[in-house]
Amino acid sequence: MPSSHPPSAVAETGRDQLRVRAARNPGFPLELDWVRELRVNRSAAERRAGTLPRRRTVKREWQAAWLLRALTLVDLTTLQGDDTPGTVRRLCAKARQPVRRDLLAALGAEQLPIRVAAVCVYHTLVPTAVAALRGSGIPVAAVSAGFPAGLNPFPQRLAEIRASVEAGAAEIDIVITRAHVLTGGWEALYDEVRAFREACGPAHLKAILAVGELGTLTNVARASMVAMMAGADFIKTSTGKESTNATLANSLVMIRTLRAYGERTGHRVGFKPAGGIRTAKQALDWLVLVKEELGNDWLAAPLFRLGASSLVTDIERQLEHFVTGRYSAAYRHPLA
């Protein structure tokens, strides 16, 4: 996996990509035969996913380079019941400057636009985030459509999406109705996500599948395909509130379904694992997975995100270790 370039060069590769929005996925007519023919061998998927952390390691300057890249892929998130405007403003400050300037200077990366890909908050805090990020180029993402359960009345879910877009959200993370998947209601799921896409207007739509509640990896593949057919710009693993969130195995299934959709339709869809990604080592595992399955083009914010909060602090700690040879306490770093 390692690139042949030093840390600053690897980060530089993504400089322009961070400012470019991926082309929208216009969707595709629902093809039930295509959906129903999808099958996943769980043991094979888990075996393949299990090889990645063992076979691919990134060390020294290459690790620093990939961790800088990982920072530019993070949707920095706060979705707690005790969120306040102050919490969100602090989060946005970290989004603008995820790594201390002295560390960037030591890495030769002080001139690079190292910032996160987006800030993700609840609908009520969208105006606060928009104001705090003004001029930074960092978009605000809002969780919507009855997050996290997705069981609010349908008109309310549509209204919430429209309100978040009107408040300034450039990306909308919706949550699907899991019952449609568990009962094989693929037409209902398609219609639901299509309606969400229309409600988003110009905002990009990320469809959260809540894979830990879908029962089987075959259901994960089928839900992924239907969401993409309905026009999702990203497919996302989890709300972060389920007992099982992003794993390498369920991510592998989603990525391969995404690849099959692109090969057949010519449309590229982004991927976002979320929930439980807390360490720099985990972030590198997901970068390896995406690189090996999709290629280098997907290692940029328009097509790949990492939904996380504490991850940013751990990456900063790892970068300080690379610079100084010592691990610092987390409290020494500005909080996200």
HEC sequence for 188-252 = HHHHHHHHHHHHHCCCEEEEECCHHHCCCHHHHHHHHHHHHHCCCCEEECCCCCCCCCCCHHHHH
Q: pLDDT value at position 53?
A: 79
The answer to whether residue 173 is catalytic is: yes
Whole-number Å distance between alpha carbons of 284 and 73: 12
Domain coordinates in residue numbering, the chain: 7-332
Whole-number Å distance between alpha carbons of 280 and 106: 19
Q: Which of 244, 252, 313 is nearest to 279 (CA)?
A: 313
Match 């940013």 to its residue by tokens.
312
Residues 75, 173, 285, 314: which is the catalytic one? Answer: 173
CA distances from 276 to 81, 113, 172, 283 (A): 18, 26, 21, 10
pTM: 0.91
210: left (phi over 0), alpha (psi -120 to 50) or beta: left
What is the DSSP secondary structure assignment for residue 14, as one 8-state letter?
Answer: T
Per DSSP, the three-state class of 159 is: helix
Whole-number Å distance between alpha carbons of 117 and 157: 25
Structure tokens at 287: 């970068």
- The dihedral built from the CA positions of residue 224, 227, 231 and 236, taken in this order, carries a sign that is negative
What is the DSSP secondary structure assignment for residue 279, as one 8-state letter?
Answer: S
Q: First-to-last CA distance in the chain?
A: 29
The answer to whether residue 102 is catalytic is: no
Q: How many other C-beta atoms can be found within 10 angstroms of the C-beta atom of residue 117?
A: 24
Whole-number Å distance between alpha carbons of 62 and 74: 19
Q: pLDDT value at position 58?
A: 72
Q: pLDDT value at position 235?
A: 98
Q: pLDDT value at position 21?
A: 61
Q: pLDDT value at position 16?
A: 36
Residues 94, 206, 236, 291: which is the catalytic one? Answer: 236
Q: pLDDT value at position 12?
A: 39
Share the mean pLDDT of the chain: 91
The answer to whether residue 236 is catalytic is: yes
Radius of gyration of the chain (CA): 19
What residues in the chain have per-residue pLDDT under 50? 1-20
Dihedral pair phi/psi, residue 276, rounded to 5°: 90, 0
Q: pLDDT value at position 281?
A: 93
**Residue 89 CB partners (closer than 8 Å, separation 6+):** 128, 132
Whole-number Å distance between alpha carbons of 275 and 306: 9
Residues 94, 206, 272, 291: which is the catalytic one? Answer: 272
CA distances from 40 to 32, 45, 222 (A): 17, 7, 10
- The dihedral built from the CA positions of residue 286, 290, 291 and 297, taken in this order, carries a sign that is negative
- Indicate the residue type of 21: R
Q: pLDDT value at position 13?
A: 32
- Indicate the residue type of 13: T
**Residue 206 CB partners (closer than 8 Å, separation 6+):** 141, 171, 172, 173, 174, 232, 233, 234, 235, 236, 270, 272, 305
Per DSSP, the three-state class of 239 is: coil
**Is residue 336 within 8 Å of 92, Cβ to Cβ?**
no
CATH superfamily of 7-332: Aldolase class I (3.20.20.70)
